[in-house]
Every structure is written in C-alpha cells, then in structure tokens.
C-alpha cells in the first residue's frame, strides 16, 4: 500500500525531530500540570493574619478557615502588606490585642487588600466578627447599662444564651451552574490542552509540507508511478496519524499521571478523532497556501494559539463576553470543548454529544476537501 | 622583487592527527600557485593558517612583508579570500553584499561604489546588482563569491577549491577569470584536486599529501622529475581484488592504484609494455578499456604518493 | 568603531528583511495578546461584582441594609424588591447572584431563619450573601441577648432598653488599602507575551552567528582586516537592538491599542535592557554548545519555553514559598515579571531595581561562560 508507505514516512520524519517530541509530548503535559497546580487545588483565596493569638483573632481565624479560605500567619503588618501587594495572599487582617468586652472602644481589625480585590475575604472576616459580636456586644451593653464588671456581664449573657430564640441563616441554591458536575483538579486543563495542542501542532508543522516541496521530494514522488491522489491521501494520513498519536498520548498520560477521567471512551474517541481530522486539514491547507516553511511555522503558532484562545482552550468560553462567545462558535475548538464538557463533567455519553460531533465532522469534510485540492494544486503547479 | 607570500614550516595537529606537517612555499607577484592534493590532504588547513583563521602550531606566514597571526588585523588588508563554500548573504542584494565587504575593508564613499561597480563588471553581474543573492543561479552565486575576494584589490588572492560542484560552463568562466587575474600582478594561491585545473592555471604547483608538501615546481619540472614515465589507465570489471598490488610487483612499475573499476599504473615506456600489462590485468578480470597518457601531474602525483588524486 | 556599526547595520538590515523574525518578534506577541485580552474581557481583572436582590417582609431593615451594601461594601448592583417571588425569580433566571430574604419574625422575638438563595453558578457571591445575612442575624441576636441579660440581671429601668438598637460595635473593621505590585490582567498578558517572544527573537539574533559560520561568511569576516572584538561587539549590538526595538514596539503598541499600563518609563527601560541581556547570554551559551543553527534553534526554543512557563509568563506563579515558587527563581522571566509588576504598580524603586540586577547578573554569568567558550564559535583552534 503506497498510501501507508507515504504516511509512515511522514510520521517517522516527524518523530525523528527532538523539538517535535518536546513540543508535542512533553510540553502539553507540563502545561496541564501547571494549570492543575496553580488553579486546581483549593482555588479559595488565602487570608494573611497578624495577631491570630489575640482574643478576637482566634475566633476570626477559626471562622474564616471553616468557611474554606486559607490562612497564613505573618509577624508584622509590614510583612503582611508586602505579601498582599505581591499577591502572595489575596488580602490580610491586622488584629488589635484588646479585650473587646472590657475595653471602652471597639477592637480594631484592619483589613488590607489591593483596591477592588479580596471582597469575599472581607465578607468572611466581617461575618466572623459579626457572629462573635452578638454575645460580646450584649455583654458589653449589659455591663455598661447595668453597672457591673465585664466578667459578670459575660457570665450573665452566657446564662441566658440558651433560652433566647435566635435568628439564623438558611441557604439554598437556584439557577443554572456555570459548570455542571464535579470538575477535578486536572480535568479542565487536560481537555482544553489536548484540543489546543492537537490543532497547534498540525498548524505549526505545516512547514514540513513546504519543505518537502522545496527539497523536490514531492516532484520525485510525482515522477514515480504513483497517482497524485495516492500522494495526497498518503501525506494526509501521515499527518492525521501524528495528530492522533499526540492526542492519544495526552489523553493516556493525563489519565494515568493525573487521574483525569475522560468519560465515555467512545464519545471522547469520536470527538478527538474528528477534531484531529479538522486539525490535519487546517495544517495541510496552511502548508499548501504558504511558500516559506519558516513563515508557515510562525503563522501556524499564531493561528494555533489564537484560534485556541478564541475557542475556549485558554479560558473557559463560559467566562467570555457575549460577543466573543458568539464568535467562538466559528472555531472547531469550541465544539470539541463543548463535547468534552458534556463527556467529562456531567458524565455524558456519545449520544449526548452527537451535535458537537456532527458540527466537527461537517467542518472536517469541508476543510479537508479544500485542503486536499489546495495541496494537489501546490505540488502539481 | 620579494615574494608576496612566504610561508615556512607550517604545522597543525587536531588531536593526534597531523593535518599539516611542515608545509612551506613562496608565491611571487603575478604568479599563480596551485596547491594540488586529494581531499583531506591539508589544503584548507594550510589556507586557513595563511589567512589567520587558525592558530599555527609552528611556522610563519608573511604576506606582503607582514606576518599574519590570528590576532593581526592590518596585515589582512593584503589578503583576498574565497572560501570553498558559498559565503555570501543570501538576503542581501549583490550590490549590498559587495558594498558591505568593501566598507569592512576600510573603503569609503565613492571608492566603495567604484570598487563594487568594477567587480560587478568583472563577474558579469552588472545588470543583476540590485537583485537578492538568493535569486541568483548557482553559477552567478559562485561568481559573486569570488568577486567579494577581489573587491579591495588584494596582493594575494586565495581560492579554496572554487570549482567544486560547479557546472562545466560556470567552471570555465571561473577558470578564465582566474587566468586573467594572474596577469594583473596578483599573487594567487589556488587549491584544487583537479589536475586539469592545476595544469591549465598554475605557474607552479605544490603537491600536498597527508599534510606534507611532497613536491613543488613548474609543471615541466615536476613531470621531468619523474622521468619519462607514462600513465596507463584501465577500465576493469569482474574480479579486481589485489590488482594494484599485483601490478606493483612487475618490474619497472613505479606506481599503481585502483578505485571503483579504474586502475592507474605509472611506468616508463608504457606503449611497449602494454601487452604484458594487459595480460597481468586480465587474469580473472575483464578489461573494458585501456588508455596511455603522456606524462602529466596525475602521473606525478601517483608516482610520488602511490595514490590517485580522485577519491 | 566604524566597522562595529557597519556590522550592526548589516545584521539589522538582514533582520528587517527576515519576515519570520518580524513575525516572531512583533506580530506574534501582539496578536496573541490582543486575542487573549478580547477573549478574557474583564475575567482577568479579578473584580468581584455580584448582584443581590433583597426582600424584607418587615419593611424595617431592608433599606438600611441595601444602603450599607452599596455605600460601605461598594457593591454596585443591590436592589430592594417588592416581593419574595421577584427576588427568587431573579436568581432562578441567572439575573442575580443571590437573594436575601428577611422574614416577618425577625422584628419579634421568634426563632426564624433569614433565607439566602444563591445562584448555582456563582458560589462566591452566595458566600458573600450568606455573610451579609449572618451579620444581620447577629445584629438581631445581640439585641435579643442583651435584653434577656438585662432582665436576668434585674435591671428594670426602661431607659436601659432604649439603647439596644444602637449598641456600639465591639469589633470595628477598618480598611487599610494596599497598593499592588502585580500586573493587571491586560498588562500581565502584554508583559508575559512580550517577554516570552523576546527570548525567541533575541536568541535567534544571537544564533545568527552560527548561521554565518555554517554559511562561511563568518570566515570571510574573520579574514577581513577587522578585529575579532569588533565582530563580536557588532553582532552583539545588533542582537541587543533587535530585542530592544521589538520590546519598544510592543510596549507602545500594547499601551495604545489595549491600554496596558507598563508603569514608569525608566523601569520599563531598565527591565527591558536586563531582559535583552539575559536572552543574549542564553543565546550566546547556546551558540557555543550547539553545532548547527537548526539544532541551536530547536534547543533554544525548548529552553525559552520552559523558562517562560516556569517564570510565569503564561500563568502567574504564586509566591507562597512552595517548591514551584523556589524553582521558578532560576528563570529570568520570573524576576522580570516581578520587576514589571512592581514598576507598573506601587513598588518602590528597589522592587524594580533588584529584580533587574538579578536578571542582568544571570545575563552576565551566561555571557561570561559564552565568552570563555568563544573559540567554539569562531572555530579558531
């Protein structure tokens, strides 16, 4: 089979370059690991605290950390300020060391944040302060008005606490969640990067096609008793194999290394299989239209990153402004990611992603027709 | 008149391997000197030391009365160098290439334009000066490559195998222009492993092998040096193992070498001994052709080194 | 000196004619920054602006609560609605982040619950709404406790109960605003991409010397009556100018087109020079350890990518003292991002100068290593 020979040669040439091996196999895994480490684990912000040992401090720290926020202690207000400015912590508090019941003025808690940031932490601190305030304020009031000592008033409030009916807060949920289902630490990174890199590699290596033409290898193949159709299909198949090998590697590596659950195997295979075909076609088209292999590399990287970003593989498309979200629908990335969203986060099956696969398949067929026509033209003209 | 180039006792080793081992020669103004030897004989290493591209392990190089070292700057003005491979900027035009090097050699203003125009004329590129070098044909690139070496009117021009991989037509053009250069009082050092080029161009030839200069002189001197020896070439096929060794055992045979179906033998009075040679060769071997050559540099080389020039 | 400029000008002219170089040095970083900025919208800004709907069945607490949230907490979209249904519907329709519902019983002494209905897609806003509700509950509870305490303490003077609603606070949260020494979203992208590609383009410029060696033109330069030092300085200057021009264009373009704020001019210049020096040092070392331009380019690309990733040009590295934080200090990108952050924000001059010096030091050490190995470059043995 000549088609397979041409395809195998293409794959072999590709894998022989060290640079390719790094950018195709190692780099995506590094990126996924980084995303997982930076954003995956406990994305709740951290509060820096000075004075956690004070009476008020102890209660606030307990309350804020039980809300799920991180706590880091600092020795001085200056250190804390540095940490906040460098965003080592989202915000910080400096707590005054006084007894809130005995003191005749409020205990000050200084909340430090960069302008406009740390509002959620501020709320948590405020809630903690307010929560403990009920009894403290009541005790101080009783001490002031009743003319008794702080300890006596506190004891009195302690006695009545159990007999007073209190107001509490009940929480429920409504509306639609932004992301459905449970998203594990590495899941988002893994699905978005497999889409980003499969496409990126196909485009950035389109220079190979130009080089093959330049070196005269294409002419040599044309001179041999091989129909043009076979040559074009062979090159296409070889590049498709590269795309599939990379996608499969990322999927398997993330599954084993980071425990990413890729959901319904049939569904994931179908989405990535069709998406890889779209990538292949795009790469061949680029390699047929341009004349300079180095430029093809540069343009490929730009288009790959640009379309990837637009399609939601850098930042979830749910977070895009509305207009950009509409534009995103014109990228194959968007449809592949939408498919993975259903498969990975809500445990969908292939039946749930037929729309996405259909759109991708349509793009693939259209692009492939144009690309093979352009490639045939490029080698025969 | 003192010679333009004097080099003496040049030595250069790369690790254990002695690339150049005691080479020394002189070239006078207007003289074309050919350094003839097979690939790997030490020609490029010798030229690199003369240019100051390589440190010498031992020896001296004097060009136009000034010693050349890796660190010398001013003395290099007398040197013109044409590297073996194309050394031009493909993304600059022919004019820009030439003007850049002219300025690098210290020319300014109108002198630059004048020198560039002169060289464009000389190399036949006058009407292509504004085109980028990467749009040139192979021969045009070669001519530009040589032209850069001539720009600043050097005293000594070194051409390192300028015709390797050049089509016959361009090669002739190059040889013609080199031929013309010698008559203008320029000293030329020309390295090659093509015997015909050395015979055609060079006033004197130095034969280099294994880093040593094994003979030197005019073509006539060298040929006279080996006596009236002829060179016989056989085209052979079939069983050719040990053929050269067998022939060397014949009386009067001074040299024999074989490579890929080609057998060369040097001996006196070849015509008379042809039947004897053919008999010796055809023992188990098919002889497809025989030719007897008048004494030439090829025979000299074979006689002196026991090797053929061509690899 | 003249020959130095001659060489520099020759190199720069070649650079300008090299479309791949312009693509890599200017077009790619700019295009990617623009795409990512438009995709991200304000998601990168980190501003928290939830929308709340409040319904108050008592009619007593709502207005002051809403006023407090808008005026003190700085939330812009807080609305008091007439019916409970209206508040709930807003959350269900994803129009509001959370609804806070105050039941009638709050005004009496009954045990009641304040209700918070949070939008499923906005966990953070829900948490904030809960904090607000808890504060309100605490307020109410403090009054109820104090009243019970006074009764238990035998205080019968009616005047004593009058101050209950205006009980003084025991804990006061004061705002201590911090500056910011990290880059805002847009500028972060602009700086990150500029630095990432700077290392590629400067490296390519430095590695040009290998190309010249391969092409044979370097030998030609060496044979000319020009000192080796002039050649070295000329080519170095050309590489430095390439980097500085690319950086300059990117700074101006991102400022004008995207409104990125790079901060003090002297800081930008200092840090850019440091960045270029480090990139040149890296390129120079690469030039002395690799044989062919292709090899150098491939290896250089991998090194620049890993250092960029590690230095936080794609995702910010959190300065939490963890292993990644420590490891990232080997990357010049890391120091540069920090320096640019301090320069654009509220950093002191030292916060800019120290990272710049570290990066210059990295460049110096690498450059020194390359100088020691310079014989490898010219092939003079």
So what's the ipTM on this one? 0.75
Identify the DSSP state of C24: I
Q: Which of A68, A137, A186 has the most C C-beta neighbours within 10 Å, making it the best mutation to test the interface with C?
A: A137
pLDDT at B117 over 90: yes
CB contact under 8 A, C381 and B85: no
Side by side, which strands form the sheet with C77-80? A168-174, C113-119, C98-102, C51-56, C77-80
CA triplet C81, C84, C89: central angle to 5 degrees? 85
Q: Which residue has the higher pLDDT, A93 or C213?
A: A93
Rounded CA gap, B5 and B25, in Å? 8
Chains that touch B (3 or more CB pairs under 8 A): C
Mean pLDDT, residues A42-61: 83
Give tens-digit pLDDT for C26-42: 888 888 888 888 777 65
Of the given ranges (A2-6, A239-243, C307-311), which has the lowest mean pLDDT? Answer: A2-6
So what's the pLDDT on residue A176?
A: 65
Rounded CA gap, C379 and B45, in Å? 12
B-C CB pairs within 8 A amount to 77
pLDDT at A28 over 50: yes
In angstroms, the separation between the Cα of residue C54 and the nearest Cα of chain A is: 14
CA atoms within 13 A on the CB side of B227: 11
Is chain A touching chain B, with at least 3 CB–CB pairs below 8 Å?
no
Rounded CA gap, C278 and C364, in Å? 7
Mean pLDDT, residues B233-250: 81
Q: Which residue has the higher pLDDT, C154 or A370?
A: A370
So what's the pLDDT on residue B183?
A: 64
**pLDDT band at residue B182 under the 50/70/90 scheme:** low
pLDDT at A42 over 60: no
Q: Where are the alpha helices (DSSP H) in chain A?
A: 2-16, 18-21, 27-35, 55-66, 77-85, 119-146, 150-161, 187-204, 207-214, 217-223, 228-257, 265-289, 293-310, 322-328, 332-340, 354-380
Q: Which of C85, C103, C141 has the most A C-beta neighbours within 10 Å, making it the best mutation to test the interface with A?
A: C141
CB contact under 8 A, B76 and C225: yes
In angstroms, the separation between the Cα of residue C20 and the nearest Cα of chain B is: 13
Nearest to B5 by CA among B54, B103, B73, B75: B75
Nearest to C219 among B53, B55, B88 (CB): B53
The share of chain B scoring above pLDDT 90, in percent, equals 19
**CA B290, chain centre distance (Å):** 28
Percentages helix, strand, coil for chain C (3-state, rounded to 5) are 70, 10, 25
**CA B180, chain centre distance (Å):** 17
pLDDT at C47 over 60: no
Q: Which residue has the higher pLDDT, B76 or C254?
A: C254
User: What residue has token string 């840090």?
Assistant: C271
User: What residue has token string 């918070």?
Assistant: C116
pLDDT at B88 over 80: yes
Residue B160 β-bridge partners:
B191
User: Is residue C69 a contact partner of residue C129, using CB atoms and an 8 Å limit?
Assistant: no
Of the given ranges (A335-349, B8-22, C244-258), which has the lowest mean pLDDT? Answer: A335-349
CB contact under 8 A, C139 and A130: yes
Nearest to C378 by CA among A351, B54, B158: B54
* B8-28 residues labelled b (16+ CB within 10 A) or e (exposed): eebbbeeeeebbbbebbbbbe
> Which chain B residues touch C if contact means CB-CB below 8 Å?
14, 51-55, 70-71, 73-77, 79, 81, 83-92, 96, 100-101, 103-106, 148
Which structure tokens are listed for C18?
């090299």
Asked if C220 is an interface residue toward chain B (Cβ–Cβ < 8 A), one would say yes
Of the given ranges (B147-156, B230-239, C81-90, C197-206), which has the lowest mean pLDDT? Answer: B230-239
Rounded CA gap, A235 and A224, in Å? 15
So what's the pLDDT on residue C158?
A: 74
> Helix/strand/coil (H, E, C) string of chain B?
CCCCEEEEEEEEEECCEEEEEEEEEEECCCCEEEEECCCCCCHHHHHHHHHCCCCCCEEEEEECCEECCCCCCHHHHHEEEECCCCCCCCCCEHHHHHHHHHHHCCCCHHHHHHHHHHHHHHCCCHHHCCCEHHHCCHHHHHHHHHHHHHCCCCCEEEEECCCCCCCHHHHHHHHHHHHHHHCCCCEEEEEECCHHHHHHHCCEEEEEECCEEEEEECHHHHHHHCCCEEEEEEEEEECCCCHHHHHHCCCCEEEEEEECCEEEEEEECHHHHHHHHHHHHCCCEEEEEEEEECCCHHHHHHHHHCCCCCC
Give tens-digit pLDDT for C112-131: 888 999 887 777 788 788 87
**pLDDT band at residue A41 under the 50/70/90 scheme:** very low
**pLDDT band at residue C176 under the 50/70/90 scheme:** confident
Which structure tokens are listed for B262?
């080609």
Sequence-ordered list of residues with C-beta below 8 angstroms from that of A192, at least 6 positions apart, any chain: A312, A313, A314, A316, A337
Rounded CA gap, B119 and B177, in Å? 11
Instruction: Give me the count of residues in chain C.
Output: 381
In angstroms, the separation between the Cα of residue B273 and the nearest Cα of chain C is: 50
**pLDDT band at residue C45 under the 50/70/90 scheme:** low
Mean pLDDT, residues C96-101: 90
Please name the helix (run of DSSP H) or strand (run of DSSP E) that holds residue A114, with its range, or none: strand A107-114
Rounded CA gap, C202 and C219, in Å? 23
In the three-class reduction of DSSP (H, G, I as helix; E, B as strand; rest coil), residue C231 is classed as helix
Asked if C22 is an interface residue toward chain B (Cβ–Cβ < 8 A), one would say no
pLDDT at B60 over 70: yes
So what's the pLDDT on residue C237?
A: 92
Nearest to A356 by CA among A328, A332, A373, A372: A332
So what's the pLDDT on residue C41?
A: 61
Mean pLDDT, residues C59-71: 83
With the CA atoms of A253, A259, A262 and A263 taken in that order, what torsion angle do they form, in degrees rounded to the nearest 10? Answer: 150
CB contact under 8 A, C215 and B86: yes
Nearest to A302 among C28, C48, C121 (CB): C28
Nearest to C226 among B70, B91, B104 (CB): B104
Asked if C6 is an interface residue toward chain B (Cβ–Cβ < 8 A), one would say yes
Give tens-digit pLDDT for A332-352: 999 999 999 888 877 788 888
**pLDDT band at residue C183 under the 50/70/90 scheme:** confident
**pLDDT band at residue A182 under the 50/70/90 scheme:** low
**pLDDT band at residue C44 under the 50/70/90 scheme:** low
A-C CB pairs within 8 A amount to 331
CB contact under 8 A, B14 and C221: no
In angstroms, the separation between the Cα of residue C217 and the nearest Cα of chain B is: 5
C49 phi, psi to nearest 5 deg: -130, 85
So what's the pLDDT on residue A177?
A: 63
Give tens-digit pLDDT for C315-345: 777 777 778 888 889 999 999 999 999 998 8
Please name the helix (run of DSSP H) or strand (run of DSSP E) that holds residue C356, with its range, or none: helix C349-372
C20 phi, psi to nearest 5 deg: -65, -35
pLDDT at B7 over 70: yes
A36 phi, psi to nearest 5 deg: -60, -45
Mean pLDDT, residues C265-278: 96
Nearest to B294 by CA among B257, B268, B259, B260: B268
**CA C314, chain centre distance (Å):** 9
Q: In chain A, which residues have their Cβ closer than 8 Å to the Cβ of C135? A: 126-127, 130-131
CB-neighbour burial class of residue A227 (10 A; exposed 0-12, middle 13-18, buried 19+): exposed
So what's the pLDDT on residue C356?
A: 96
Can you point out the beta strands (E) in C151-289?
171-178
C260 phi, psi to nearest 5 deg: -65, 145
In angstroms, the separation between the Cα of residue A350 and the nearest Cα of chain C is: 25
So what's the pLDDT on residue A332?
A: 95
Widest distance between CA atoms in chain C? 109
Chains that touch C (3 or more CB pairs under 8 A): A, B
**CA A261, chain centre distance (Å):** 15
- C-alpha dist (Å) from residue B252 to B269, B273, B297: 9, 10, 19
CB contact under 8 A, B76 and C223: yes
Nearest to B282 by CA among B245, B249, B235, B248: B235
Of the given ranges (B210-219, C177-186, C201-210, C335-344), which has the lowest mean pLDDT? Answer: C177-186
Which structure tokens are listed for B241?
């193992």
CB-neighbour burial class of residue C323 (10 A; exposed 0-12, middle 13-18, buried 19+): exposed
């Amino acid at each position: 089979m000549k088609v397979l020979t041409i395809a195998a040669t293409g794959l072999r040439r590709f894998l022989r370059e060290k640079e390719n091996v790094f950018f195709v196999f190692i780099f995506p895994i590094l990126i996924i690991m980084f995303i997982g480490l930076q954003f995956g684990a406990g994305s709740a912000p951290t509060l820096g605290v000075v004075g956690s040992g004070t009476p008020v401090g102890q209660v606030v720290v307990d309350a804020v950390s039980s809300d799920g926020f991180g706590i880091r202690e600092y020795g001085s207000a200056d250190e804390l300020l540095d940490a906040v400015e460098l965003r080592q912590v989202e915000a910080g508090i400096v707590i005054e060391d006084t007894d809130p019941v005995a003191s005749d003025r409020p205990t000050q808690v200084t909340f430090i944040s960069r302008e406009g940031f740390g509002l959620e932490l501020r709320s948590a601190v405020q809630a903690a302060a307010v929560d403990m305030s009920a009894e403290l304020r009541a005790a101080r009031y009783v001490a002031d008005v009743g003319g008794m000592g702080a300890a006596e008033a506190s004891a009195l409030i302690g006695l009545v606490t159990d007999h007073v009916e209190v107001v509490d807060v009940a929480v429920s949920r409504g509306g639609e969640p932004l992301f459905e289902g449970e998203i594990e630490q590495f899941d988002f990174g893994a699905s978005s990067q497999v889409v980003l890199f499969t496409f990126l590699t196909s485009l950035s290596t389109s220079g190979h096609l130009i080089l093959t033409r330049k070196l005269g290898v294409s002419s040599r193949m044309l001179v041999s008793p091989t129909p043009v159709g076979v040559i074009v299909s062979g090159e296409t198949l070889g590049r498709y194999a590269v795309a599939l090998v990379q996608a499969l590697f990322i999927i398997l590596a993330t599954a084993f290394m980071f425990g990413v659950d890729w959901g319904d195997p049939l569904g994931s295979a179908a989405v990535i299989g069709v998406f890889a075909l779209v990538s292949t076609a795009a790469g061949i088209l680029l390699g047929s239209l341009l004349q300079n292999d180095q430029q093809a590399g540069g343009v490929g990287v730009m288009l790959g990153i640009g379309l990837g970003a637009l399609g939601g593989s850098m930042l979830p498309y749910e977070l895009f402004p509305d207009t950009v979200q509409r534009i995103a629908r014109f990228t194959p990335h968007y449809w592949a990611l939408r498919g993975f969203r259903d498969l990975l986060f809500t445990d969908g099956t292939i039946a749930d992603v037929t729309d996405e696969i259909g759109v991708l398949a349509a793009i693939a067929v259209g692009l492939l027709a144009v690309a093979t026509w352009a490639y045939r033209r490029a080698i025969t003209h | 008149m003192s010679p333009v180039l004097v080099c003496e006792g040049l030595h250069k080793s790369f690790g254990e391997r002695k690339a150049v081992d005691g080479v020394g020669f002189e070239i006078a103004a207007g003289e074309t000197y050919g350094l003839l030897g097979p690939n790997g004989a030490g020609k490029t290493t010798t030229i690199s030391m003369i240019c100051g591209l390589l440190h010498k392990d031992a020896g001296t190089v004097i060009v136009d009365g000034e010693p050349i070292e890796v660190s010398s700057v001013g003395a290099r003005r007398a040197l013109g160098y044409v590297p073996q491979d194309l050394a031009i900027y493909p993304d600059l035009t022919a004019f820009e290439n030439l003007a850049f090097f002219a300025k690098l050699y210290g020319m300014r203003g109108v002198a630059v334009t004048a020198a560039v125009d002169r060289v464009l004329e000389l190399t036949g590129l006058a009407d292509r000066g504004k085109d980028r070098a990467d749009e040139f044909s192979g021969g045009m690139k070669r001519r530009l490559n040589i032209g850069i070496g001539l720009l600043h009117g050097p005293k000594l021009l070194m051409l390192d195998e300028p015709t390797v991989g050049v089509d016959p037509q361009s090669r002739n053009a190059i040889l013609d222009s080199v031929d013309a250069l010698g008559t203008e009082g320029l000293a030329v050092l020309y390295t090659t492993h093509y015997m015909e080029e050395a015979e055609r161009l060079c006033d004197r030839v130095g034969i280099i092998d294994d880093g040593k200069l094994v003979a030197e002189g005019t073509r006539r001197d060298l040929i006279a040096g080996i006596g009236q020896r002829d060179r016989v070439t056989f085209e052979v096929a079939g069983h050719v193992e040990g053929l050269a060794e067998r022939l060397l055992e014949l009386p009067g045979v001074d040299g024999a070498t074989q490579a890929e179906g080609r057998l060369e033998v040097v001996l006196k009075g070849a015509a008379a001994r042809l039947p004897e040679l053919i008999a010796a060769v055809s023992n188990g071997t098919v002889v497809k052709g025989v030719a007897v050559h008048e004494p030439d540099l090829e025979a000299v080389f074979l006689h002196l080194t026991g090797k053929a020039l061509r690899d | 000196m003249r020959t130095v400029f001659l060489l520099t000008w020759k190199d720069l002219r070649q650079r300008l004619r090299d479309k791949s170089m312009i693509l890599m040095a200017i077009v790619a970083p700019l295009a990617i920054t623009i795409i990512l900025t438009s995709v991200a919208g304000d998601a990168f800004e980190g501003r928290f602006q939830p929308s709340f709907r409040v319904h108050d069945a008592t009619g007593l607490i709502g207005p002051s609560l809403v006023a407090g949230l808008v005026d003190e907490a700085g939330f812009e979209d807080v609305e008091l609605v007439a019916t409970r249904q209206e508040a709930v519907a807003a959350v269900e329709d994803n129009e509001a982040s959370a609804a806070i519902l105050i039941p009638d019983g709050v005004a009496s002494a009954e045990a009641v619950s304040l209700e918070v209905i949070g939008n499923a897609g906005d966990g953070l806003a829900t948490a904030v709404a809960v904090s607000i509700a808890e504060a309100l509950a605490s307020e109410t509870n403090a009054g109820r406790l104090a009243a019970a305490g006074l009764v238990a303490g035998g205080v019968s003077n009616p005047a004593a109960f009058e101050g209950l609603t205006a009980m003084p606070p025991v804990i006061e949260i004061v705002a201590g605003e911090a500056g910011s020494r990290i880059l805002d979203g847009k500028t972060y992208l602009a700086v990150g991409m500029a630095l990432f590609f700077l290392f590629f383009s400067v490296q390519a410029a430095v590695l040009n010397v290998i190309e010249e060696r391969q092409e044979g033109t370097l030998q030609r330069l060496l044979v000319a009556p020009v000192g080796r030092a002039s050649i070295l300085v000329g080519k170095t200057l050309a590489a430095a100018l390439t980097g500085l021009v690319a950086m300059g264009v990117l700074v101006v373009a991102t400022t004008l087109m995207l409104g990125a704020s790079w901060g003090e001019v002297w800081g930008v210049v200092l840090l850019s020079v440091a960045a270029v020096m480090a990139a040149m040092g890296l390129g120079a070392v690469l030039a002395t350890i690799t044989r062919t331009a292709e090899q150098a380019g491939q290896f250089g690309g991998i090194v620049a990518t890993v250092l960029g990733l590690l230095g936080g040009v794609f995702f910010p590295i959190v300065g939490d003292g963890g292993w990644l934080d420590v490891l990232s200090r080997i990357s010049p990108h890391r120091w540069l991002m920090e320096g640019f952050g301090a320069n654009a924000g509220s950093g002191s001059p030292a916060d800019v100068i120290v990272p710049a010096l570290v990066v210059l030091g990295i460049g110096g050490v690498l450059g020194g290593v390359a100088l020691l190995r310079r014989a490898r470059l010219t092939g003079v043995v």
